[in-house]
Structure 1
């Protein structure tokens, strides 16, 4: 990603627009206006819209992963609490006024069939979140496969919350995660 405050300004503006309207509905002129930069400077930082989409996803990846870790670290102590705190994070995120679903899922839905790079970045992001869940699962001595199941619950909650405009999907996913963890504890005992 290009560096500097102006490039970041463009990424932030594009992120907001892509989240609100979708990638294909947003033109470079819209991004220029929202970022308050000239089209020439915009293209100097990002030679194509595809470059900008990738930069937005890369920045979103960093932001989301660090936000989840910070949230969990600040609110939970035991391995079980730490896993469930991921779903509490989702509930707070889903309840935000600008929530439109997961930008990675939405962008792959729009562009994944035509952009290998978008699919690669989204896949890398989802695998990194899954790996974080795997770390939490290992801390609690739960079976390794539980991380994949938790990831499915989290992604399902993201899609459900966006479609139904109901943040309670995170609460339902948290309840399912609790049931999953209890079953894993019983089978290990």
Structure 2
């Protein structure tokens, strides 16, 4: 069982690196096999199709990504308003990573959304969970859930703009707009 778990993790690590950097359609199972250091037979035993591997990659990325955001917010912010704005600090850190290529779910949807209901479902699930988290933070800060939806749009726009522009500045700009929205909605200035 340990060998199976290790092989599965190596395959998923390779798939994540390759799919995120190069795109799903550009990466064949043989490339993933080589990068993971497993036989093609072992790869197909664990993931009978590229669609199965894609589903596992997106599910794992969703869990890890959301955990990383929430962990950062929990560790770095004290007040409810700071918690909302801490999301943008996390985004800025992410945008500065040398391997940042935008949102994996938007990228996957752009590549396969027209032909893969599985990708559509994974992207919707991820975005729904992230937006619900932002709405939860925003309502805890005293603003309406609708403001949470607006802040989610700021975060989504920052992700796309940062990927295209190659700069983390959109996170700071979106944070400034989110701060303004919170201040207008709650009447309390957020000084972070």
Q: TM-score range by the shorter chain?
A: over 0.9
**Match of 1:22?**
23
**Match of 1:139?**
140
- Tell me which stretches of 4 or more aligned residues in structure 1 moved more than 2 Å: none
Is the aligned partner of 1:102 residue 2:68? no
TM-score normalised by L of structure 1 = 0.95
Report how far residue 134 of structure 1 moved: 1.5
**Match of 1:153?**
154
- Structure 2: 5+ residue runs without aligned partners? none
Report how far residue 186 of structure 1 moved: 3.4
Report how far residue 30 of structure 1 moved: 0.7
What is the aligned-residue RMSD (CA, Å)? Answer: 1.2
Contact 2:154/2:178 (CA < 8 Å) preserved in 1? yes
Is the aligned partner of 1:81 residue 2:82? yes
Is the aligned partner of 1:50 residue 2:28? no
Residues 147-178 of structure 1: per-residue CA shift (max 9 Å, x gap): 11111111111100001111111111111111
Distance 1:83 1:119 in 2: 27
Residues 94-149 of structure 1: per-residue CA shift (max 9 Å, x gap): 00010000000000000011001111011001111111111111211211101111
**Match of 2:112?**
111
Matches within 5 A, 1:123-134: 123-134=124-135
Distance 2:145 2:40 in 1: 49
Equivalent residues, number: 185
- Structure 1: 5+ residue runs without aligned partners? none
**Match of 1:177?**
178
Distance 1:172 1:54 in 2: 33
Distance 2:141 2:84 in 1: 9
Contact 2:136/2:145 (CA < 8 Å) preserved in 1? no
